[in-house]
Amino acid sequence: MLDTARTTDVADTDRALRVAVIVGSARGGRAGRAVADWFVGHVRDRADIELNVIDVADLDLPVAMPNWDGLPSPAPQTRAALADVSPRLADAEAFVVVTPEYNHSFPASLKNLIDWHFTQWQAKPIGFVSYGGLGGGLRAVEQLRQVFVELHAMTVRDSVSLHGPWSGLGKDGQPLDAAVCEGAAKGMVDQLVWWGRALRAARVAHPYGK
């Protein structure tokens, strides 16, 4: 995992919260990008957030990682990928993870991105948009909550869950039950903003872990 310095700003309750939206699936034929596009399109006009989409399918992160002591160092192509994504994660003040449920869990590509980083997640809130089958990806979300608490992140209670065939995505990439999904998205983002502002102020007043 890569340990990079976090960006620290002066706490400002009126400034928009920088939110990284992480598309967690890299599988061929995935619906993840369509789900992320719907979510971003629905909430992008909010004045209290700024969105930055990070797609794991665009990253070239191998599954083999350096030793805990940092030796050997990552290969050049891996360093290049980290040079792009790590600062974006560090700059984010909150995250929304878009995840499917594969075999009752979340994708290995998402876990790989998570494990390459550490301080970037600390003392920041995380919301979830999940999809897949009758459970709507909720089992993946529950496992991700356990992963992120180990990384000192704070997951918000409410999430957005696209349950097929009821509120899943149609062929146009939009939720079949738009009213329910849009209401869930608003509730989740409201909680994310509250926690994001509170934790932003706390990190400025007392840098986490120091």
pLDDT of residue 70: 62
Angstrom distances, CA of residue 104 to CA of 96, 107, 132: 20, 10, 10
Closest CA to 97 of 170, 48, 151: 151
pLDDT of residue 6: 46
Which tokens is 86 given? 């790590």
Q: Please report, for the domain that includes residue 74, its CATH number.
A: 3.40.50.360
Closest CA to 112 of 181, 157, 61, 158: 61
pLDDT of residue 68: 65
Q: Does some domain include residue 91?
A: yes
Domain hosting 32: range is 17-205
pLDDT of residue 136: 92
Total domains in the chain come to 1
Q: Does some domain include residue 10?
A: no
Amino acid at residue number 12: D
Scanning 166-210, the segments in alpha helix (DSSP H) are 178-205
pLDDT of residue 113: 97
Q: Does some domain include residue 134?
A: yes
Compute the distance between CA of residue 120 and CA of residue 117 in angstroms, rounded to an integer.
6
Is there a contact between 164 and 133 (Cβ–Cβ < 8 Å)?
Answer: yes
Closest CA to 59 of 44, 41, 74: 74
> Counting beta carbons within 10 angstroms of the beta carbon of residue 54, is it exposed (0 to 12), middle (13 to 18) or buried (19 or more)?
buried
pTM over 0.85? The answer is yes
Q: Does some domain include residue 98?
A: yes
Q: Does some domain include residue 112?
A: yes
3-state secondary structure of 31: coil
Compute the distance between CA of residue 191 and CA of residue 96 in angstroms, rounded to an integer.
12
Q: Does some domain include residue 49?
A: yes
Is there a contact between 113 and 59 (Cβ–Cβ < 8 Å)?
Answer: yes
pLDDT of residue 105: 96
Q: Does some domain include residue 78?
A: yes
Q: Does some domain include residue 198?
A: yes
Q: Which of the residues in the chain have pLDDT under 70? A: 1-13, 68-72, 210
pLDDT of residue 202: 96
In sign, the C-alpha dihedral spanning 67, 70, 75, 81 is positive
